[in-house]
A = this chain, B = another copy of it.
Amino acid sequence: MNDVTQPRRPRSLRLRRLGIDTYQEAVIYMHRDCYVCRSEGFDAQARIQVEHSHRSIIATLNVITTDLLALDEVGLSEAAWRLLGAQEGDQVVLSHPAPVESLSHVRAKVYGKRLDAAAMGVIIQDIVAGRYSDVHLSAFITACSKDRLDRQEMVALTQAMIEGGERLDWGRTPVMDKHSVGGLPGNRTTLLVVPIVAAYGLTIPKTSSRAITSPAGTADTMETVAPVDLDIADIRRVVEREGGCIAWGGALRLSPADDILIRVERSLDLDSEGQLIASVLSKKAAAGSTHVVLDMPVGPTAKVRTPEAAETLSDHLVEVGRAVGLEVRVILTDGSQPVGRRIGPALEARDVLSVLRGEEDAPRDLRERALLLAGHVLELSSRVPPGKGQILAQEILDDGRAWRKFQAICEAQGGMREPLRAPYTHVVTASRAGRIVRMDNRRLARVAKLAGAPNAPAAGLELHTRVGTIVEKGQPLFTVHAEAPGELAYALAYVETNPNILQMEEPT
């Protein structure tokens, strides 16, 4: 064809920060009358390739019809700024993206084909690079749900997720780890297991998550007593000195695909054996662990509901773990009720500290659970004979070594502090006499969140009764803690309209 000598218009536009947080989704905002938008035929919801110096991402277009943006400006969602590493005022070049080739593998899986390691690899690479929209992520998760991944596919997915991010190497073995599958409220055993195991002289570099839908994650709770936002160099320094750490893993890019997939899985609430296994094991392997004890609570409202389901899942975890270089031991525990007495970051930390300090009224269930798990970690290391781990763990806790190690770890992470106490509290009392027959964990968690947890770390609630207790009219049931009077009022309004949070029967 002939040469065309028409002037070419640049497709470069100036970046403007609108400050729109879409969580993880890369969104680009462009004015409807912007010439790039018009001439490229971009419509709302189009996927657009955004290039900025050496990086390039794919973002979903939202079209601005007001003067929020000038015609030569584009905005980005906060997630897109992060992915692109751009600054306000920088120029970006926009184009139609090449088709995302790995989607053909997703379609193949939807149609019932098996995926090999290479296919899983490119899918996870594209997910980590932000090339999948929510629609694509959901199709992948749906196609892999329930038992649709066989053992080899689970291994391939786990391996791909490990390789999709950073990987720590501690240059030694064993490197111990523990994890709870589908956490129970208040189940803060990590803050006890790590100091016990590290005090014994083993290496246990623990990375934890923040709360996503719960009132407190392990990282949120730890943060009320010490800094947790450590980079990889910090973690190395702490672990070299103390043998263990309890850090927030979110910024370390360990299995970043997991963080992306888990949000979509939550939104679908689909059971997926393969995804669960890949999620847990990829994080552990990426953190450089070699030996992992998994706490698997089993109960009618827990993630794992029957002993049979627990057995199948344990088998897969052990075998897939072996294939990616992890020695895995699964411990089935009671998943029928919450652990400890307090809900919320600082409140849960107080439960933990009371166990570490050996206080009279320390919650016994939390202590026993932690000793059971710590015992298994000790035994799994092969440094402690089978059957001796739990007694050893108890000695380390009771003679104060665990408490000293916990303080040392906190100091190494940046300094220990006492968890804050909330300035506003309100005691909710029984409106009549009766026996507590059931606690609605979901609603208790909701009260703690309305009171401000986990963003307000001192917020949450403290139970004064347990299931089975007989209470008098006017007797305290629980105390709501808040950092602001508005949040307290808001949580109490919810309590008022939900009288069955603690379900009572007439005493017989």
Contact = CB atoms under 8 A, between A and B. Distances in A.
A488 B499 CA distance: 68
A321 B311 CA distance: 48
A490 interface: yes
Copies of this chain per assembly: 2
A133 interface: yes
A312 interface: no
Sort chain A's interface into a size bin: 35 or more
Interface stretch (A137-145, A149-157, A288-296, A364-372): A137-145
A450 B39 contact: yes
B40 A450 contact: yes
Contacts of A233: none
Interface string A250-275: 00000000000001100111100000
A73 to B, nearest CB: 14
Interface in A399-436: 426, 428-431
Contact of A270 (B62, B139, B501): B139
A36 B314 CA distance: 42
Contacts of A168: none
A495 B78 CA distance: 36
B103 A269 contact: yes
Contacts of A20: 29, 62-65, 68
B430 A487 contact: no
A431 B4 CA distance: 11
A89 interface: no
Given A39-B450, A62-B22, A65-B19, A486 B9 contact: yes
B107 A270 contact: yes
Contacts of A4: 426, 428, 492-493, 495-496
Contact of A38 (B2, B40, B65, B487): B487
B68 A3 contact: no
A493 B6 contact: yes
Contact of A139 (B2, B77, B138): B138
Contact of A429 (B2, B39, B41, B452): B2
* Majority-rule SS of A interface residues: mixed
A43 B455 CA distance: 11
A426 B7 CA distance: 13
A373 B3 CA distance: 42
Given A18-B66, A62-B20, A496-B4, A38 B452 contact: yes
Given A111-B146, A267-B136, A431-B1, A493 B8 contact: yes
A125 B102 CA distance: 33
A137 B135 contact: yes
A492 B1 contact: no
A3 B496 contact: yes
A134 B145 contact: no
A32 interface: yes
Given A44-B21, A45-B263, A487-B38, A145 B110 contact: yes
A353 to B, nearest CB: 25
A81 B137 CA distance: 27
28 contacts: A1-B495, A1-B496, A1-B501, A2-B430, A2-B431, A2-B474, A4-B493, A7-B489, A8-B493, A9-B493, A17-B66, A19-B64, A20-B64, A20-B65, A20-B68, A21-B44, A21-B65, A22-B45, A38-B487, A41-B449, A41-B450, A107-B269, A110-B145, A111-B146, A133-B267, A134-B135, A136-B267, A136-B268
Interface of A: 1-4, 6-9, 17-25, 29, 32, 35, 38-41, 43-45, 62-66, 68, 77-78, 103, 107, 110-111, 133-139, 141-143, 145-146, 263-264, 267-270, 426, 428-431, 449-450, 452, 455, 474, 477, 486-493, 495-496, 499, 501-502
Given A19-B68, A21-B63, A136-B268, 6 more contacts: A1-B477, A2-B474, A6-B488, A19-B66, A110-B270, A138-B139
